[in-house]
Chains A and B, each alone.
Chain A
Amino acid sequence: MSALLEVDDLRVTFGSTAAVRGIALKVEKGETHCLVGESGCGKSVTSLAVMGLLAKGGKREVARLSFAGDDIRDYDEKRMSHLRGDRMAMIFQEPMTSLNPAYTVGSQMTEVLRRHRGTPRTQAVDRAVQLLTRVGITAPGLRLGQFPHQLSGGLRQRVMIAMALMCDPELLIADEPTTALDVTVQAQILRLLAELQKDLGLGILLITHDLGIVARVADRVSVMYAGEVVESAPTAELFRAPRHPYTRGLLSCVPVPGKVKRDEPLGSIPGVVPRIPPGFIGCAFKERCSYAEAACASPLPRRYIGPAHEMLCILPEGSGA
């Protein structure tokens, strides 16, 4: 039984910059897979590449790209646009820029259904009302007639989720869906996504930089750095036994409320993320890694170090605990 979304050896270049350098990931039905990394690691580009939404100038190469068993690697723009919004939906970080300010919420939501399924207007409106209620919006009839700028950030993001669900997608790709929201609203939105996943059997690819979200929401995690997945594991396993030095470094940087030691400096990773030219070989993290050695300049093997736990590093088990 194949996974809902399978990506293998995805590479994306923009001119002389290699944004994504050969990543592989799988999202199963009913599972949340988190792609976590800092800015510039290529996580957003990955999601855009999967959906065929790369900006002009971006070149995509992928060995395997399958959705619900179908090979979508060579789908042209027309077939991809049929998939997008229908079986495969995406929500973005900034709902204000993804919702068209010139149209009402209702017209934008119903348009999705009418375009993909040819549903008549009244039925589309009913479905919109149903979904707005489902995402916890009170007085949905009123909201349908409102414009995006009349809604608060949390409401707009709920509308985005409702819109994404209009055609009953199988896969939801969420790119930093709560970064622009207050922390109390964030919790509500994430709970909503988890409920919807349980009820509808959605597969979710969640992209974020926030390790807290990853820990609470993800079934599986892939940590990205400079265009590669450096470590991938089930969530509990990753937090219990992180192996890659970058993952470990990242975890040590995040202060946990209630477990904070005020007089000790926070863990940090010295240096900055490098820009990788195409054709680069070896580990991109070696300049910042305290365990780096000469072998790190050669191509790295992908190692399996536990059940469904793999990483891109030659560090042996048990070192540098």
Chain B
Amino acid sequence: MSTPAIEVWGLRREFRASQGLFAPPRRVVAVDDVSFSVPAGSVLGVVGESGCGKTTLARMILGLLEPSGGEVLVDGKRLVGMDRLARARLIQPVFQDPFSSLNPRRRVRDIIAMPLVAQGNVTTSEIGRRVAESLERVGLSTEQGTRFPSQLSGGQRQRVAIARALVLRPRIVVCDEPTSALDVSVQAQILNLLAELRRDLGLTYIFISHNLAVVEHVASEVAVMYLGRIVEKRESEALFRDPRHPYTRALLGSVLTPEPGLGVPDVGLGDIMPDPANIPPGCRFHPRCPACFAPCAATGPRITSLEDGLVECHLAG
């Protein structure tokens, strides 16, 4: 079996939030013991709501944040502590907000050239060639390459962000809500582009999104995160067909499909909001879980392996 493109083992991240002068600082565990591995060429979807830790996870994988514990391996090589130029050649981001992910003072072609320039050993003509190639791949013209980000639409800016991510021909692209800030019609264009690029360039994606329908379309495997842990991780088709964790079921049940006459579902989650600074004892989902029973408040559930993934719930054992 070949080395997976990216593996994450026991990744953990804690923050200390100060509580003023007199109280000791509060420990907020944003990501708690997350592990997964993604085979080359496939897409791992990561879904979850606010406070689940998916953005912190993305930043750790990208090297923007140092983990409090655990390992990230790309092609078997440890990412933490890797020289930043080598890491840039392996893993690149596409962020959510097309308005703030491009430097407004630089032209598009300079933005795309930046990773090449940072490498330091690429000739100017080679840089020009690779930038032109990148522009073409994402469907932008050379003329658009001379513009400033403020002169492009949201969808076009996102294409620039994708072109920048690809110019070093990385192995992994971490997409953090890449289409959430775009209009629906543009969203489809960008998703189609991402799928095409993955096939043509043999990329591996980690695709973070709160939009379940988009994730279903894009991902081969899906991990559902809640308050810092992965509560269910299954093959995409299996997860959407037969979700095993109550939170996954609630999440899927809340999605409003464009099918008239069905009204708005009541998923029975109650009013309590998840707070990473106050993680409930036992199973962290138990205060909101419609299927909560005796052991849930007392002990954390063990991970149960299923034939197409895993789930962390007392009901599954």
Contact = CB atoms under 8 A, between A and B. Distances in A.
B240 A257 contact: yes
B195, B257, B267 interface centre (most CB from chain A within 10 Å)? B257
Given A138-B271, A255-B217, A217 B264 contact: yes
B183 A255 contact: no
Interface residues of B, number: 48
A14 interface: no
A270 interface: yes
Nearest to A234: B260
Contacts of B20: none
Contacts, number: 140
Contact of A254 (B212, B253, B258, B266): B258
Interface in B43-79: 49-50
Given A183-B255, A214-B258, A260 B271 contact: no
A240 B260 CA distance: 9
A253 B267 CA distance: 26
B37 interface: no
B34 interface: no
Contacts of A137: 271
Contacts of A268: 185-186, 188-189, 192
B265 A187 contact: yes
A216 B264 CA distance: 6
B256 A187 contact: yes
B254 interface: yes
Interface of B: 49-50, 153-156, 183-189, 191-192, 195-196, 210, 212-214, 216-218, 236, 240-241, 250-267, 269, 271, 273
Q: Is the interface of B mostly helix, strand, loop or mixed?
A: helix
A39 B153 CA distance: 11
Contacts of B260: 215-216, 235-236, 238-240
Contact of B254 (A152, A186, A272): A186
Given A136-B271, A194-B263, A153 B50 contact: yes
Contacts of A215: 256-262
A64 to B, nearest CB: 29
A187 B184 contact: no
A209 B261 contact: no
B259 A239 contact: yes
22 contacts: A39-B183, A138-B271, A187-B264, A191-B266, A194-B263, A211-B184, A212-B256, A212-B258, A216-B264, A235-B260, A236-B260, A254-B184, A255-B214, A255-B216, A256-B213, A258-B240, A260-B240, A262-B236, A267-B188, A268-B188, A268-B189, A273-B153
Contacts of A187: 253-254, 256, 264-267
Contacts of B210: 182-183
B140 to A, nearest CB: 13
B263 A257 contact: no
Contacts of A253: 184-185, 187-188
B216 A269 contact: no
Given A187-B266, A257-B212, 11 more contacts: A38-B184, A183-B212, A188-B269, A216-B259, A235-B260, A250-B184, A251-B258, A260-B217, A265-B192, A269-B189, A273-B153
Contacts of A262: 216-218, 236
A213 interface: yes
